[in-house]
Amino acid sequence: MTTAGPVRARLILIGAPGAGKTRLGKRIARLLRIGFVDTDKRIVAEHGPIAQIFEEHGEAHFRTLEREAVAGALREAAVVSLGGGAVLDADTQADLAGQHVALLTVSAEAVAARIGGDKRPLLKGGIPAWSALVESRRELYESLASRVWDTSTRALDDIAGDIADWVRQDTTSPDTVEADAAKEHTARIESGQKEQQQ
């Protein structure tokens, strides 16, 4: 996995736990027909359950593993959903500058239904813990975001459509041009192959 070089992610989703980063990210990636990476999933696949990493090695160790996963994910031309605290890392903050960064927000009332019985280690204290976490990060989240979407009440499919449109509108990005050219090239080869088969 490459962890150096330019950031190639087409869209980066940030925000508090329970804001819908994973669910929306999957939908948006489908709309944009590109890959989806959830950095928490990558960490779990490589190192085991997050709760266990916190318990056995502490939060600082988790953040080191998280930065590795984030650095790799951001170098893929995909929709990337970051764990809620990934933005605390200074290198990740630098990576996010100038990118399509969507902040997802959610009200405490709406998130209450989503995080009940949750295993996330920083949410053991329920909604009060969640609210304190969000409040302590609010300014940071806002400073890194290029656009903000609230997921408390609107249908996720509608929000996903809006975000995908926003990403698509920026056709001047070199990555977009590169990706479009690659897609056209593949389509030309495929149609040529079909013609030959006929």
Residues lying near ligand S3P in the complex (CB under 6 A) are found at 17, 21, 40, 50, 83-85, 120-122
Nearest distance, CB of residue 77 and ligand S3P, angstroms: 22
Instruction: Name which of 100 and 137 has its Cβ closer to ligand S3P.
Output: 137
Nearest distance, CB of residue 122 and ligand S3P, angstroms: 5
**Tally of CA atoms within 13 A in the half-sphere of 134 that contains its CB:** 19
And the tokens for 78? 């995909």
Instruction: Name which of 16 and 34 has its Cβ closer to ligand S3P.
Output: 16
Nearest distance, CB of residue 176 and ligand S3P, angstroms: 27
Instruction: Name which of 85 and 161 has its Cβ closer to ligand S3P.
Output: 85
For residue 173, give every residue at least 6 positions away whose Cβ sits within 8 Å of its Cβ, in sequence order, or none: none
Nearest distance, CB of residue 8 and ligand S3P, angstroms: 21
SS3 state of residue 106: coil
Give the whole-angstrom CA distance, residue 14 versus residue 81: 7
Task: Check if the beta carbon of residue 50 is closer than 8 Å to that of residue 120.
Answer: yes
Instruction: Name which of 22 and 176 has its Cβ closer to ligand S3P.
Output: 22
Nearest distance, CB of residue 194 and ligand S3P, angstroms: 42
Give the whole-angstrom CA distance, residue 61 versus residue 195: 55
Instruction: Name which of 7 and 70 has its Cβ closer to ligand S3P.
Output: 70
Which of 132, 152, 135, 58 has its CA nearest to residue 123? 132
Nearest distance, CB of residue 91 and ligand S3P, angstroms: 16
What residue type is assigned to position 142 of the chain?
E
Instruction: Name which of 8 and 120 has its Cβ closer to ligand S3P.
Output: 120
Which of 94, 89, 55, 51 has its CA nearest to residue 69? 89
And the tokens for 173? 């990005």
**Tally of CA atoms within 13 A in the half-sphere of 12 that contains its CB:** 30
